[in-house]
Amino acid sequence: MADLTSNFLGIKSPNPFWLASAPPTDKQYNVERAFEAGWGGVVWKTLGAEGPPVVNVNGPRYGAIYGADRRLLGLNNIELITDRPLEVNLREIKEVKRKWPDRAMIVSLMVPCEEEAWKAILPLVEETGADAIELNCGCPHGMSERGMGAAVGQAPDLIEMITRWCKQTTRMPVIVKLTPNITDVRAPARAAKAGGADAVSLINTISSITSVNLDTFSPEPSIDGKGSHGGYCGPAVKPIALNMVAEIARDPETAGLPISGIGGVTTWRDAAEFLALGAGNVQVCTAAMTYGFKIVEELKSGLSQYLDEQGMSLDDLVGRATPNVTDWQYLNLNYVTKARIDQYACIKCGRCYAACEDTSHQAISMSADRTFEVIDAECVACNLCVNVCPVDGCITMEELAAGEQDLRTGKPVSKEYANWTTHPNNPATVEAAE
């Protein structure tokens, strides 16, 4: 199996799968269970400054969005940073790192925007033997109303200032965790780099309200009849996270800045996509909270098998797709594809026809016996039909080569099947093969 050993910022771990700063990393018991299950590292749940204790709600803390099969697509949480005493967290971090020296131990921090507050907590964390710190500049609820979290992440000047304070005070690598609740994520990433950050991690959670109870008229989760916006995470946020990772990876001003990718990683494929777009490792939270820590076994085995099949190393995969991300204006407008319907796979449900006829380009015809065919002259290759078809692979988009025609219809076709008589879906071809 391919070697998954990760070296991120000089921090070695047996694999690139870290648990993100969240409830699963709030105490020694959880973290040790994670390491026993095989996770390569953890980002300890965010610690705050010494002083008045953080008080979390004692009612529901999570809201959810489900798919049709009740699969969890998105999770909204209103939990704050750790509410456990600072000295207890520090003692446990030190103990875990002593027992598991081969695993990455990153400590998330969030204190007021005061230089002395940062200078006070950094030596305490350094004494634990932790490998790095992650500056929480992304939490969108609770702490942001106190001038921390996303309130800092939305102000590049504050990011640069805090990062510089930390770099001047500690020997530990500094990772800056960025908020997605911003128009252009490149600005805070550039600020983090200007402040001397060793890496950035993203995305933190998205400010959200997942639902409203239509009996009590309170947002969920509801606390005594009231609700608040929270942080949204899970599979639903992956597209947003991938885009933001790619934007930083391909930005000339931040190119080369190491990235820890976060946001909806549930399968090894998700992780591979983050790595291909420039992330050096990935952090996981919702998947672990949904399926338990042993999900890391599937993540590791799947990624390792993929790398073997591709003949690639982990380092080969990182950034492999970044050069192929471009601005719209540079897309090839001479590239042409058309939809193709596999009549043997088609279940005649008519979804493609309904979607195209009602909302797209009227490029699919329906015969009396419910046979659906693409009208090439009208097809603009939007691939809506591919996306609504319930049968995987039934409808595909095939590239057209200039000048080629279907000998049956006289219309342009894909270069692979210019002659209908040899098309693999021609009934005569199928009968001959049988």
Catalytic (active-site) positions: 139
Q: How far apart are the first and last CA of the chain?
A: 39
Under 8 Å CB-to-CB from 11, ≥6 apart: which residues? 41, 104, 106, 131, 132, 173
* DSSP β-bridge partners for residue 364: 374
Q: How far is CA 92 from the centre of its chain?
A: 29
Phi, psi of 156 (to 5 degrees): -50, -35
Torsional sign, CA 267, 268, 274, 279: positive
* HSE value, Cβ hemisphere, 13 Å, CA-based, for 4: 27
**Residue for token pair 């702490």:** 143
- Report how far residue 340's alpha carbon sits from residue 335's, in angstroms, rounded to the nearest whole number: 16
Query: In this structure, how many other beta carbons lie within 10 angstroms of the beta carbon of residue 283?
Result: 28
Contact (Cβ atoms closer than 8 angstroms) between residue 53 and residue 83: yes
What 8-state DSSP symbol labels residue 280?
A: S
Contact (Cβ atoms closer than 8 angstroms) between residue 267 and residue 298: yes
Please name the helix (run of DSSP H) or strand (run of DSSP E) that holds residue 30, with its range, or none: helix 28-37
Contact (Cβ atoms closer than 8 angstroms) between residue 47 and residue 86: yes
- Report how far residue 258's alpha carbon sits from residue 197's, in angstroms, rounded to the nearest whole number: 9
